[in-house]
Amino acid sequence: MTKKIYITTPIYYPSAKLHLGHAYTTIIADVLARYKKMQGYEVFFLTGSDEHGQKIAKKADENKQTPQKFVDDIVVGFKNLWKNLNIDYDKFIRTTDKNNILSVQKIFRKLLKQNDIYLGKYEGSYCISCEEFLTDSQINKTNNTCKICQGNITTLSEPSYFLKLEKYTKQLLKYYDEHPLFLWPLNRKTEMINNFITPGLENLSVTRTSFTWGVPVLENPKHVIYVWIDALSNYLTGLGYLQDDDINFKKFWLDSNCEIVNLVGKEISRFHMIYWPILLMALNLRQPNRILAHGWITNEEGKMSKSKGNVIDPLVLVNRYGADGLRFFLMKEIIIGHDAKYSHELFLNCYNSYLVNDLGNLLSRTVTMIIKYCDGKIPKVNLNKLQPEAIEIIKIIKSTINDFNIEMDEYQIHEAINVVFKLITSGNKLIDLTKPWDLHKNNKTIELHNILNLLANILIISSALLSPILVNSSLKIHEQLGVLKITKPIVNINLNEVFNKSVNKKELLFPRLNIEDELSFLNNAFK
């Protein structure tokens, strides 16, 4: 039976262009999806846009547009960014999609009928930026702003439907206990319990009447469904839940053996780690296997955010350094679950150090020597006459494949990359240690062929393992080595694989960056 996985990103709010933080989340999902495909999984990867709410209506009015025209224009930019970053999603869901609207209304009706939603009145503080009613602990008392986004707070009093969170509190805590890896990183569970559940979960306001840009409640059209119920339901409706075409919902969500991973930023952890599981409990549906919350990307001004205006436009970096350069940096330098600081210097030094000095250098040296010493054909290795250095390299290759898969299966992408670069470093050291030019000069043909074969295999296997991250570069490496892209799981190595084409030296895969010049460019680009 084919293994399956369903991977989702949050659906992003189209109030402005996306920034580096959004790119980071989506690249994680794309890398995991590509890796799982290599492992033989059937994959469904969902991303999209969260298009309803008061903030969107306000932004549209400021731009003298209808809300629909406003979001339509911005979503074009979303899709363009994902195309430029080589994001290979299976579906892009929009909460304004007709099918989504109909399904959300059916979800609301179902919860209303079973008395999990009731009509009441809300009075209290509301953050327009976060689209959230706030508790006292979420408010900066000194300046009456939201602690999460530092945005202004307004006082609201209006009729509202409420979702009964209290009803499911014990069931949620029990699920946490029985599934210790459900929330990741592990400190998120403690945070949810101590900060939100133990103080007492208040029933959640799930409709508004003071604006109209949202999904109307069928039973009471003056109410529009609160943005978080609308948004969270996308993980179900994107598969066809409560729709005529629900084949993907049956194939992925209803298959208990299907792995389900929800990726979120830590600022929206509570919605996904409390409200989302409770919504699924109320709908009598299974839970995801893991809700994975990554940290923030910060700079000198703190967390990058649209409201602060301190964001990095990923398209500037992609257009200058390629999608692979940015994908690699974000996956290599950031530990999923931890905050990380971005700086132009860190990005440029990472590019030069790993892609130019290590991987690019090994490729250039290896291809040059195979052309020079073997007429451009990767030689076969003589397994009966291996030097001690060659025997050690074969051990490293085998352990690299195993360790890479272990780290990726635990979503430790940065560690998986480190594993591969230890192998790449070993390849460069092998050249320095064995000096193939001396082996050629001294007519040690068998030894020379052994080393060149191993160097080629290091590159072939390393680029195959890194292909979920270095999407374009891995193809170019295989092309230079005259081999096809490896698309099946690498469980073992065949050093004497038959190569049909000659190696060929092309343009530098990763040209060296002049740090001073590039810093000048980036500082001007992000003034």
Binding residue numbers for Zn(2+): 127, 130, 146, 149
Alpha helices in 313-469 (DSSP H): 314-321, 323-333, 344-350, 361-374, 388-409, 413-434, 436-441, 445-465
Pick the closest to residue 92 from 14, 153, 149 (CA basis): 14
* DSSP-derived secondary structure letter, 152: B
* DSSP-derived secondary structure letter, 146: E
Let me know: does 363 contact 385? Beta carbons within 8 Å: no
> Position of tokens 């070993």?
426
Helix axes 413-434, 323-333, angle to 10 degrees: 100
Report how far residue 449's alpha carbon sits from residue 430's, in angstroms, rounded to the nearest whole number: 13
Pick the closest to residue 38 from 493, 401, 488, 491 (CA basis): 488
How many Cβ atoms from other residues are within 10 Å of residue 288's Cβ?
A: 20
Report how far residue 405's alpha carbon sits from residue 380's, in angstroms, rounded to the nearest whole number: 27
Report how far residue 446's alpha carbon sits from residue 276's, in angstroms, rounded to the nearest whole number: 62
Report how far residue 302's alpha carbon sits from residue 274's, in angstroms, rounded to the nearest whole number: 27
Binding site membership: which residues? 127, 130, 146, 149
**Angstrom distances, CA of residue 109 to CA of 100, 116, 281, 454:** 14, 10, 16, 63
**Angstrom distances, CA of residue 288 to CA of 94, 193, 254, 360, 431:** 21, 19, 11, 40, 47
Report how far residue 474's alpha carbon sits from residue 485's, in angstroms, rounded to the nearest whole number: 8
| Per-residue 3-state assignment (H helix, E strand, C coil) for 15-67 | CCCCCHHHHHHHHHHHHHHHHHHHCCCEEEEEEEECCCCHHHHHHHHHCCCCH
